[in-house]
Amino acid sequence: MRKTIDLRSDTLTMPDRPMLKTILSASLGDDGRASADGRGEDATVNRLEDMAAALTGKEAAVLFPSGTLANSTAVMTWCRRGDPVLVEEEQHILLAEKFVFQPELGGLQPVRYHMNASHLPDPEEIGRLLETSGAKLLCLENSHNFSGGYCIDLPTMKAIQEVADRHGAFIHLDGARLFHAAAHLQVPAEQICRYVDSVMFCVSKGLGAPVGSLLCGTSDFCRRARETRKLLGGGMRQAGVIAAPAIYALEHNVARVTEDIQYTKLIHDMLNGRLSKIGLQKEVQTNILMLDLSKTGIDAEAFCARAKEKGLLIRPVRNNRKVRLVVYKGITKQDAAAAADIILALDQELSLAKM
Ligand SMILES: *Cc1c(COP(=O)(O)O)cnc(C)c1O
């Protein structure tokens, strides 16, 4: 039987054996039992948090079971109930996570900003919205998931920080795929993070660990975030069992994210100029590629069902008009090429069909 290629999400990455072996020798303790300096008693978690802080150039870090909980905790730590928060209209935190903006849960007021045609936030619009709303927190996403993995370059990050500073606002960065952004921008992750006050990144996606996300910032912010995490039920006990594979991921899997980007670009190159019905995003920057189905005559759900018949698993996003492909550790160059061939075949079927 032909192998099914699964490009639904980079959360599908499986931990490899050397990674899993680190769990057996990890030194463990009760991470939920914090000492006076705010640190838990699990030595492996503490080591991971120190590594995360160093990689992002921040004073401290806190481990979370998910990126959703880390983002929610960050925003709730910066804000009080009812506060306005600047968030881009297609940000994960707004469209997928929702928690902080649910009236009955986080209770914060989203103030939406927009991306320009180059998929970049506009510092001028942000300044205007900070002014009129009085918001003291601005959320960024780099790389940006629902746009198709586009990155915010350093000059734009810097311009945004200057605007935020002028209005006394803090910046939280959703960096679920921070290391993919760093690879595209060809800078160490720390250089992206110097323009923000707090940053979350996932080890459970492109870095290949089974579980975990890290929230990084000043020591004082992280101490408060730890308290918020506890209130939200995110405190963990012998969490070294998830920290050990995460340490392995940071030591072994950061540099290889360039491979994901290379294979995503391969799919794009194979499709570019050869599709008659399916819309293709202009450029691939990281490990995500979006297909636009609005001119195909079928919706994303139906398209994904047809792709599945041909051995490709992909997922509808954004109102069932787009489809997302994500490349991750475990997807080979051959898989990427085969996926592109399946999309080409589907496009041909769609252009032959009577509409
Ligand atoms: C995946 C993701 C998250 C967090 O996801 P979890 O599944 O909760 O770990 C946050 N932001 C973005 C942009 C993501 O893609």
pLDDT tens by residue, 299-308: 999 999 999 9
Alpha helix segments (H runs only) across 82-218: 92, 123-133, 145-148, 154-166, 178-185, 189-193
Kindly give the distance from the C-alpha atom of residue 168 to the centroid of ligand 1, in angstroms, as a whole number: 27
pTM for the full predicted model: 0.96
Residue 68 CB–ligand 1 contact under 6 Å: yes
Find out whether 137 and 221 touch, Cβ atoms under 8 Å.
no
Q: Is the pLDDT of residue 14 over 60?
A: yes
CA 318 to CA 311: how far, in whole Å?
23
Residue 66 CB–ligand 1 contact under 6 Å: yes
The sign of the CA dihedral 307, 309, 310, 313 is positive
Ligand 1, atom 2, lies closest to the CA of 176
Mean pLDDT over 89-101 rounds to 92
pLDDT tier at 249, thresholds 50, 70, 90: very high
Q: How many CB atoms lie within 10 A of CB 129?
A: 21
Mutate to test the pocket of ligand 1, among 64, 205, 327 (most ligand atoms within 8 A of CB): 205
Residue 91 CB–ligand 1 contact under 6 Å: no
- Bridge pairing between strands 312-313 and 5-6: parallel
pLDDT single digits (tens) 330-344: 999 999 999 999 999
Report the chain's mean pLDDT, rounded to a whole number: 96
Residue 88 CB–ligand 1 contact under 6 Å: no
Residue 202 CB–ligand 1 contact under 6 Å: yes
Kindly give the distance from the C-alpha atom of residue 28 to the centroid of ligand 1, in angstroms, as a whole number: 27
pLDDT tier at 319, thresholds 50, 70, 90: confident
Can you give the pLDDT at residue 353?
A: 79
Ligand 1, atom 5, lies closest to the CA of 67
Find out whether 137 and 169 touch, Cβ atoms under 8 Å.
yes
DSSP classification of residue 259: H
Closest atom of ligand 1 to CA, residue 66? 9
Residue 145 CB–ligand 1 contact under 6 Å: yes
Instruction: Please state which of the ranges 4-13, 25-34, 224-233, 317-326 shows the lowest mean pLDDT.
Output: 317-326
Residue 92 CB–ligand 1 contact under 6 Å: yes
pLDDT single digits (tens) 232-246: 999 999 999 999 999
Which residues is 137 bridged to in the sheet? 170
Can you give the pLDDT at residue 144?
A: 97
pLDDT single digits (tens) 25-34: 999 999 999 8
Kindly give the distance from the C-alpha atom of residue 216 to the centroid of ligand 1, in angstroms, as a whole number: 16
Kindly give the distance from the C-alpha atom of residue 246 to the centroid of ligand 1, in angstroms, as a whole number: 16
- Helix, coil or strand: residue 67: helix
- Bridge pairing between strands 84-88 and 109-113: parallel
Q: Is the pLDDT of residue 180 over 70?
A: yes
Q: Is the pLDDT of residue 81 over 60?
A: yes
pLDDT single digits (tens) 108-150: 999 999 999 999 999 999 999 999 999 999 999 999 999 999 9
Q: Is the pLDDT of residue 355 over 60?
A: no
Q: What is each CA distance from 97 to 64, 70, 72, 92, 264, in whole angstroms?
A: 15, 11, 8, 6, 26
264-267 long-range CB contacts below 8 Å, 24 or more apart? 264/149, 264/288, 264/289, 264/325, 264/327, 264/336, 266/333, 266/336, 266/337, 266/340, 267/325, 267/327, 267/336, 267/337, 267/339, 267/340, 267/343
Can you give the pLDDT at residue 320?
A: 81
Q: What percent of the chain has pLDDT over 70?
A: 99
Can you give the pLDDT at residue 199?
A: 98
Kindly give the distance from the C-alpha atom of residue 139 to the centroid of ligand 1, in angstroms, as a whole number: 14
Residue 204 CB–ligand 1 contact under 6 Å: yes
Q: Is the pLDDT of residue 1 over 60?
A: no
Can you give the pLDDT at residue 36?
A: 77
Mutate to test the pocket of ligand 1, among 174, 177, 199, 290 (most ligand atoms within 8 A of CB): 174
